[in-house]
């Protein structure tokens, strides 16, 4: 796990509270070697966030409970890293390039369609 993962996750949640989770996510992913408090506050400013509110959220660990719940959920699902993909509720263990994932989705869809054939329709 990245040494600044928790702090970066809290920055993501602080940005989310201002409607900018994905822009912050992308910035953090692109800047994994620069995740100090100064860096995070600079990113928040560059994204147009209220930096005082952002800083307060970081200082108070405002996103910590949500992050802990996400980590617990990941642990229960057997997720130990990112990316991890689930297709129809089942963990995908193969490669995760677009072609392989597309094939896995199409296969899962076909299996679902096949398994639903022959099932009696419910009266409405």
Mean pLDDT along residues 58-75: 93
Q: How far apart are the first and last CA of the chain?
A: 51
Angle between helix 5-16 and helix 37-46 axes, rounded to 10 deg: 30
Q: Report the DSSP beta bridge partners of residue 67.
A: none
In which band, very low, low, confident or very high, does the pLDDT at 99 lie, cut at 50, 70 and 90? very high
Instruction: Write down the pLDDT at residue 2.
Output: 76
In which band, very low, low, confident or very high, does the pLDDT at 120 lie, cut at 50, 70 and 90? low
pLDDT of 1 above 80? no
Mean model confidence pLDDT for the chain: 91
In which band, very low, low, confident or very high, does the pLDDT at 34 lie, cut at 50, 70 and 90? very high
- The dihedrals phi and psi of 90, each to the nearest 5 degrees, come to -115, 135
What is the reported pTM? Answer: 0.71
- 5-31: per-residue pLDDT in tens? 899 999 999 999 999 999 999 999 999
% of the chain at pLDDT higher than 70: 94
Domain boundaries, the chain: 5-77, 85-116
């Amino acid at each position: 796990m990245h040494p600044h993962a928790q702090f970066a996750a809290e920055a993501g949640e602080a940005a989310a509270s201002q409607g900018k989770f994905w822009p912050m996510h992308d910035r953090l992913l692109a800047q994994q070697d620069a995740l100090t408090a100064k860096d995070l506050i600079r990113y928040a400013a560059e994204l147009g966030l209220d930096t005082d509110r952002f800083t307060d959220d970081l200082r108070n660990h405002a996103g910590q409970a949500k992050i802990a719940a996400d980590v617990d959920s990941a642990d229960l699902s057997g997720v130990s890293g990112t990316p991890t993909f689930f297709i129809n509720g089942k963990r995908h263990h193969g490669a995760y390039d677009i072609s392989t994932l597309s094939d896995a989705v199409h296969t899962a869809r076909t299996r679902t369609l096949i398994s639903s054939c022959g099932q009696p329709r419910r009266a409405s």
